[in-house]
Structure 1
Amino acid sequence: GAPMYSHSKVLSIVPPQLAVGDVLHVVTEKHFFKPYFSNEYSNYWEIPQSTSVRDETIKIEAPVSMHLRAAQRGGWEILHTREGSKEIIHARMAIHHAEYPGMETVGERQFSPIFEVTSFPSWAAVGTAYWVRADKMADVTPLVQKVADMAAGKRAGWGAQKALFSWDSANIRYVGLELGVGGFVPIAANRTLQTGYGDCKAHSTLLQALFNAKGFKLFPVLMNWNNVYNLPPLPTPFWFNHAIDYAPKRHLFLDSTGQYETPGQLAVGERHKPALVTGPDPRIVVTPGAEPEQNHFVYTAKLRLHRDGTLSGSGEMTSRGWWAWAYREIFASVPPSHYATVMSMLLAPSGGGTGTFFPGDPTVLDKPFQVDAEWSTPDFAKVGSHLSFPVPPGPFLVPSLAATPNPISYLAEVAGPESRKRSVETYLGGLSWTSTIHIPSDYKAVFLPSNQDVHNAAGRFSYEIRYDNDVLLVHYDLKLNRVVYNPQQYPALRALLLADLSDQKSPLIFARKKEERI
């Protein structure tokens, strides 16, 4: 949600009298007057997988002393020659046909054709190039020391580190400048404290300085925030657009740009990513993946279906990890006076209704975030000789504030195709909910979905339903082991989600009991 700024210049060209059937030839020439990194050059050209291209060519001329390397994926033809002290690299894409990869796949940059040229010999060299610029910006000045002492107080160890992280998150406003556009030199930590705002590089550098002031080690990390989970063929700094931090002693990643992130638990967009840890030992690592136990949403509801078809009740929602981050952001942005309006909007698909929320404090980052809710839906079920309705699907019904507000639609999108050519992403982690529903005593159960327990390489899904003494008890548990599933892993994921989908679509059917004659 940060405001984004760029100093890029944009030139719009409108060809006169362009008509159907005309052939437009575009030649682009780039001049680099001041390199981002001295004596280094790196760039890549991507043809989006969803775009058709015919006869696209690229020519690069450079001194032999730069030791440029070239690589490609996706069908580029490369010719690398030398003429005296100059080397020339030609690349050509003869033809590329557009392809639509399907819903819920990873970003197309992950598999689009790429031609790349670089002088960086390794990813470690990229990390060093950033580190030599960033490290000196994290100096411990008197102001940095003062803020670190104030934020940490008498805490020590992890308690002090969480306090420093929370202070940075809460007091420095995030203003986004993408890496590559905003440059690769962060603002000095002392300056960020004076202005009170900064981009991801500034946040990363400030947190490093605060850690330095208290004797803790912290190193900047470069990563790609978008839904891209791989690296290009050759090392380049321009693949990255986000900076966070890495605490080596605890092997934890910290992103203080997210005002409501749990310390040590990365948000959506930062997981299962190849990331470049800078510092004295630069290297590529992979950030933590799904971690369903740490990224978990637990929902408990006590509901009553009245004889007029009204459904009323209350619920308790406890969120951890990225679920907590999402819910903290939501309830920090919605004023209490609008809770009833939000609830009414969320209840509309199931018949409308009224209710409100009772959230915890979103500024407390190191504890699970809890939200309580009360609501009533007057037209939830039609009353007659039979009652038929689906099980209220846990956190998605009240409130539908998760990243996937319609679970049936989401599962259908992910699990629809029998096979996949591209990887799919599933930011779910762990979901557990238990609903107790009191049914009118003059009805009996006629049909209930069968219990399920599916456990495979993709994760685990269990669904248990019991009905006794007019009380329906439903327990649901879904844990996905990964954020990204490749085409070979997809069948196991699909089997898991189809089991989930079948239970969510199955109605509960109750019939009115026959009156006993005297």
Structure 2
Amino acid sequence: MRIAMQRLSAAVCLALVGGAAFAQSAPPDRAAAAAPAASATPAAAVASDDPIRRERSYLSYTVQADGSYVEQHETAFKVLDERAIEYAKHESIGYSASIQTLDVVEAYTRKADGRRIDVPKSNFQVETNDGREGGGPAFSDVATTSLVFPDVAVGDTVVLNYRLVGKKAMFDGHFSDITSFSDNAYMGDLRIKIDLPAGLWTQQQTFGKLKQVRDETVGGRHIVEWTYQNLSPVKRESDPATIFDLERYNGYALSTFRSYGDIAKAYGERALPKAVPTARVRKLADEIAAGKTDQRAVAQALYEWVSTNINYAGNCIGLGAVVPRDQEFVLDNRIGDCKDHATLLQALFAAKGIEATQALINAGNVYTLPKVPVASSVNHVLNYLPGLDLYVDATAKGIPFGELPAQIAGKPVLRVDRPELKASTPGFVKLHNRQRMDTRLTVLEDGSMKGTVEVELSGMPAISMRASLRELSADDAKDMIKNVFKRGGLQAEGSFTQDDPKPLRGEHRYRAQFEVKQALPVPGAFALGPSFFSPMPVSALVGSGTAEIAKDEGDGTCGGGRSEETYRIEFPATMKVIAVPPNLSLESGGSRYTATYTLKGNVLEASRVIEDATLGPVCTAEYNRAYQAFAKKVLPNLKAQLVYQ
């Protein structure tokens, strides 16, 4: 089963920006962003199809011995099409007001005839996040300077040159940066320079077509420079489920960290002192765990309390990105980002004598950490319990104790208690995700029908369904049947019942009973499928493998599961069923599909089961093509119709 994961989820809260952001936050391709219709262009389209292109991009870092740095950006974008004018006119610069100051050196529109029109002061707008009466902001110290370029037309170029001056280092004495550039975007002239004290030890790596043109020590400074140009880009065909592989792009990595263990140590030095339980936390832990003696039961109670009682709110830049808030603040306000959740939970565990630590991980589409250890390659924090050999993520709301959200399964982690240990979160369990749906229908002479649908779920389908139904009110439940069928243009009434969705559990059941007026044409035909909503029908596991796989596609995110559907459909004596789908049994690479259709008089009994043995969370393109071939053989059976008159 192909699954597309967002590059960054809401759980991504640890912005360890020792230098620029990780590859996923590389300088944006404004040409693509400015053209919503770009996805409709041919796969081989070149840069001339883009409404805007990057003529130059100069980036430099001047690093001090303490790790603080000055960041200089100069960009020039040329407008090629009217579609891009409105986009090109606006630019925003975000930065951490607590540790950075912004200086806009120059901003102007260069007209096609050579004239320069500077951005007037009246075209600037500054937004800041401040606390009250001089106090620091509780949630975010992000400041944003926005500006509007004047008189932009097709053929003009907008130029922006600004400097960010760092007041403090994210990690004392360290700097790291990793950035990549896709070869499907036009780049007229890219220049990157990093200037560090010669006394700072560094390691570096260059990827793809980026050229290193300088690496020397001059006057006590170590200077490294790269250049890149891409005048004839070709659009990639890759599926959005393709994982991010830095070495498929053009880029570089430079770091003063000798190992990823050093990054974990540096984070721990700031975070672990905050995890010592206070008297208030000890009292709270006793209250939460009251009556429980088993270590796992106590740990589960503490995890569930933090997950359900501490809301997510982040301060993802400034020193707040790597220093958790005090326990008192988190408890008073019932908010926190990932490091706040992990730190409070570690303190609660410690209060009950449960050994626990924190671990750093990438929560985006990165499954292999780059060779050069860069702080921004890990952007999320969770907890690890050595005594239970269990990772838990209290930031991921709705996830039961013992489970992990899909985007952090099967990935390398940096454990703060054992920084140099090569560890990883557990991957997916084969056929762990399951759905069983039983449908019983009685068709009336006018095409109306009445029936029941019962659904049993486990794994991620159960978790997602619980999350979607957790806040369902009694009134909404009462109108559920009417509203579900109304979306299909049908009139219906009935009842909906379910297990209590509020507890954090990996199983769920629900039942729908309904009567639907004139649901079917008479005579007519229909393809057998769910009569009510279901998160993982057989068709989903089959259809996910039928999308074409691009020739240039690399490894991709994936997962599987088991889905079973049984049907009993009784037609009236005045109708005759004249065709049913054929039975089918297929197997490929451990995945299986079995379908049986039995007609007894006017009663059809059918069963369809698919076992998608895909383990994941990463599959090669070769594996995906094999599953695609299997799925394409199954698909006609799902589309085959039941015909009656």
Both proteins in one fold, TM over 0.5: yes
Alpha-carbon distance between aligned partners in 1 of 2:318 and 2:630, rounded to the nearest angstrom: 40
- Structure-1-length-normalised TM-score: 0.87
State the partner residue of 1:331: 469
User: Cα deviations across residues 224-269 of structure 1 (Å, max 9, x unaligned)?
Assistant: 3233333234212212332211222333221112332111111232
State the partner residue of 1:392: 529
Q: Secondary structure at the match of 1:415?
A: coil
Following superposition, the deviation at residue 181 of structure 1 comes to: 8.1
Tell whether 2:570 aligns with 1:434: no
Q: Give the 3 Å change call, closer, same or farther, for CA 323–283 of structure 1 in structure 2.
A: farther
Among residues 350, 366, 388, which one is paired with 1:212 in the alignment? 350
Q: Give the 3 Å change call, closer, same or farther, for CA 414–65 of structure 1 in structure 2.
A: farther
8 A Cα contact 2:480 2:496, kept in partner = no
Following superposition, the deviation at residue 87 of structure 1 comes to: 0.7
8 A Cα contact 1:319 1:370, kept in partner = yes
Among residues 374, 381, 392, which one is paired with 1:243 in the alignment? 381
Q: Give the 3 Å change call, closer, same or farther, for CA 493–188 of structure 1 in structure 2.
A: farther
Following superposition, the deviation at residue 107 of structure 1 comes to: 5.5
State the partner residue of 1:268: 406
Tell whether 2:510 aligns with 1:371: yes
State the partner residue of 2:582: 449
Of the structure 1 ranges 101-110 and 191-200, higher mean CA displacement relative to structure 2 is found in 101-110
Following superposition, the deviation at residue 315 of structure 1 comes to: 2.1
Following superposition, the deviation at residue 90 of structure 1 comes to: 0.6
Of the structure 1 ranges 15-24 and 87-96, higher mean CA displacement relative to structure 2 is found in 15-24
Following superposition, the deviation at residue 59 of structure 1 comes to: 0.6
Alpha-carbon distance between aligned partners in 1 of 2:346 and 2:557, rounded to the nearest angstrom: 31
Alpha-carbon distance between aligned partners in 2 of 1:109 and 1:12, rounded to the nearest angstrom: 33
- For residue 166 of structure 2, what is the amino acid of its counterpart? F
Following superposition, the deviation at residue 333 of structure 1 comes to: 2.9
State the partner residue of 1:424: 556
8 A Cα contact 2:303 2:394, kept in partner = yes
- For residue 440 of structure 2, what is the amino acid of its counterpart? K
8 A Cα contact 2:140 2:315, kept in partner = yes
Among residues 255, 259, 269, which one is paired with 1:122 in the alignment? 259
State the partner residue of 1:304: 442
Alpha-carbon distance between aligned partners in 2 of 1:95 and 1:373, rounded to the nearest angstrom: 57
- Structure-2-length-normalised TM-score: 0.71
State the partner residue of 2:46: none
State the partner residue of 1:99: 235
Following superposition, the deviation at residue 383 of structure 1 comes to: 1.3
Q: What is the total number of aligned residue pairs between the two structures?
A: 503
Identity of aligned residues (%): 23
Q: Secondary structure at the match of 1:135?
A: helix
User: Cα deviations across residues 133-162 of structure 1 (Å, max 9, x unaligned)?
Assistant: 222211122211111111122221211111
8 A Cα contact 1:453 1:463, kept in partner = no
State the partner residue of 2:106: none
Alpha-carbon distance between aligned partners in 1 of 2:404 and 2:635, rounded to the nearest angstrom: 28
Of the structure 1 ranges 308-317 and 94-103, higher mean CA displacement relative to structure 2 is found in 94-103
> Which ranges in structure 2 are unaligned for 5 or more consecutive residues?
1-8, 14-138
> Which ranges in structure 1 are unaligned for 5 or more consecutive residues?
513-518
- For residue 305 of structure 1, what is the amino acid of its counterpart? V
Following superposition, the deviation at residue 500 of structure 1 comes to: 3.8
8 A Cα contact 2:545 2:631, kept in partner = no
Following superposition, the deviation at residue 57 of structure 1 comes to: 1.1
8 A Cα contact 1:351 1:380, kept in partner = no
Choose between structure 1 and 2 for higher RCO, CA contacts under 8 A separated by at least 6 residues. 2
State the partner residue of 2:62: none
User: Cα deviations across residues 451-503 of structure 1 (Å, max 9, x unaligned)?
Assistant: 1232316x444334333341322232232322332222221221233234333
Tell whether 2:488 aligns with 1:488: no
State the partner residue of 2:610: 477
Alpha-carbon distance between aligned partners in 2 of 1:303 and 1:153, rounded to the nearest angstrom: 48
Following superposition, the deviation at residue 175 of structure 1 comes to: 1.6
Tell whether 2:302 aligns with 1:164: yes
8 A Cα contact 2:593 2:608, kept in partner = no
Q: Give the 3 Å change call, closer, same or farther, for CA 89–172 of structure 1 in structure 2.
A: same
Alpha-carbon distance between aligned partners in 2 of 1:341 and 1:181, rounded to the nearest angstrom: 49
State the partner residue of 1:63: 197
- For residue 261 of structure 2, what is the amino acid of its counterpart? A
**For the aligned residues, what is the CA RMSD?**
3.1
State the partner residue of 1:135: 272
Q: Secondary structure at the match of 2:401?
A: coil
Q: Secondary structure at the match of 1:137?
A: helix
Tell whether 2:174 aligns with 1:40: yes
State the partner residue of 1:259: 397
Q: Give the 3 Å change call, closer, same or farther, for CA 47–490 of structure 1 in structure 2.
A: same
